[in-house]
Amino acid sequence: MQRIDKVVRPPGLIRSAKTYSLFFDTDRFYAIVTGRAGMKVGSIATFGIFSGVVTKAIKGPIENAFAKKYAPEITEGEKRATVAALPELAKEKYSMCVPFSSITSIIVGTDAVQGPYLSLITAKEKIKFLFRDKTQAEVEVLARNFGREVVVK
């Protein structure tokens, strides 16, 4: 079973950003919440001649603060996410087990700020994951695990 840690699901209308461990089985995949996640900062609304300098000065410290704050929680979450515990963990809030047969469409792309992403579309919802430590090519290879055509954007 293939496992990928520190994958981020971006915030939704009600849900905050979460960090996941993904597990790929032969006919389904599990997305297990391991902790909260901070999002990468795009452009900060500043005006005038110093806007680029201000954005660069503020952006790094904000992202680093989130990473340090959530790291212990994520480490603990990854420790408890074992293959034997997957069926039970998948029942927890925000975690899921998705059969490959329920996936109708797979999209791989790169967001200008957040980096490579994988979107899985099912009859019920669109599930998007961000891969901060992978390239788009690596995410495309991963998407082929689902045994479906992959749309690359």
- Dump pLDDT digits (tens) for 27-52: 999 999 999 887 666 544 455 555 56
Q: Are 86 and 30 in contact (CB under 8 A)?
A: yes
- Helix, strand, or coil (residue 1): coil
Q: What is the pLDDT of residues 54-77, one digit of tens each?
A: 666 666 676 667 677 778 888 888
- pTM of the model as a whole: 0.82
* Average predicted confidence (pLDDT) for the chain: 85
Q: What is the pLDDT of residues 1-23, one digit of tens each?
A: 889 999 999 988 888 899 999 99
pLDDT for res 148: 84
CB under 8 Å to 18, separation ≥6 — which residues?
A: 8, 9, 33, 35, 36, 37, 94
pLDDT for res 100: 92
Which among 3, 6, 29 is positioned nearest to 18, based on CA atoms? 6
Stretch among 40-49, 74-83, 97-106 having the lowest mean pLDDT: 40-49
pLDDT for res 14: 86
Sheet of strand 126-130, all strands in order from the earlier edge strand to the far edge: 96-99, 28-36, 18-24, 2-9, 126-130, 115-122, 103-111, 150-152
CA distance 130 to 78: 17
